[in-house]
Amino acid sequence: MKSKGTFAEDVYRLTSQIPEGRVSTYGAIAKQLKKPKASRAVGRILASNPRPIVVPCHRVVSGDGGLSGYSAPGGLATKARILKREGVEVEDLRVDLSRYMFSDFEP
**Is there a catalytic annotation at residue 57?**
yes
CA count, 13 A, side-chain hemisphere, 81: 8
* Terminal Cα distance for the chain, rounded: 6
Q: Which entry of 14, 30, 57, 61 is annotated as an active-site residue?
A: 57
CA separation for the pair 27, 33 (Å, rounded): 10
Nearest to 95, CA basis, from 70, 106, 72: 70
Q: Which residues are catalytic?
A: 57
